[in-house]
């Protein structure tokens, strides 16, 4: 089984021992570099480059520069998507983002993680768990979303939160760790 196959099967893998993963990651990083160098007012050129980077994009989207991701081909964004400056997505596996999602500046969405056991971690081994963000979600600035998290529909995540567990639909959640503070009707 290749390291890429291990990722898709939810197993531990080494991203630096698979030439296919290395090549794909480097290609994506080159594309992100190109995207980040496009003049901000050249919206059509930016839109086309994002389509070249991501697996799937909906209608009406804007990702402010700079933007970084690992592979791009694991990321799907829905309609009416906006991400403010400095979004980082570690997309070793699927990251699905719904419609009408707004992301504040300096946010990270991290599907990749590392084992707690230092002996395993020091071998360069990591894991990846999919992340899902529902529809009508507002994510405040400086939010960190960790591997395996599902955020429901109609959710607000407060600025500075570390989302390490699922957040149910129709709620406001905040904190480190992020917890539901209020249910919305």
Active site residues: 114
Q: Which two tokens stand for residue 113?
A: 């993680």
Buried b or exposed e, range 29-67, using 16+ CB within 10 angstroms: eebbeebeebeeeeeeebbebbeebbbebbeebebebeb
């Amino acid at each position: 089984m290749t390291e890429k196959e291990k990722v898709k099967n939810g197993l531990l893998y080494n991203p630096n021992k698979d030439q296919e993963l290395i090549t794909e990651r480097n290609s994506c990083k080159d594309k992100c570099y190109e995207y980040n160098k496009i003049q901000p007012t050249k919206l059509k050129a930016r839109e086309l480059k994002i389509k070249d980077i991501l697996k799937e994009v909906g209608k009406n989207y804007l990702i402010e520069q700079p933007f970084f991701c690992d592979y791009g081909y694991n990321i799907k964004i829905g309609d009416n998507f906006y991400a403010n400056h400095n979004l980082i997505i570690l997309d070793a596996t699927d990251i699905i983002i719904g419609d009408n999602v707004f992301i504040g500046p300096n946010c990270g969405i991290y599907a990749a993680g590392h084992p707690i056991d230092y002996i395993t971690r020091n071998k360069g081994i990591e894991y990846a768990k999919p992340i899902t963000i529902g529809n009508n979600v507002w994510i405040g600035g400086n939010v960190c979303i960790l591997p395996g998290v599902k955020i429901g529909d109609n959710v607000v995540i407060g600025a500075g939160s570390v989302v390490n567990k699922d957040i149910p639909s129709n709620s406001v959640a905040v904190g480190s760790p992020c917890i539901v503070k209020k249910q919305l009707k």
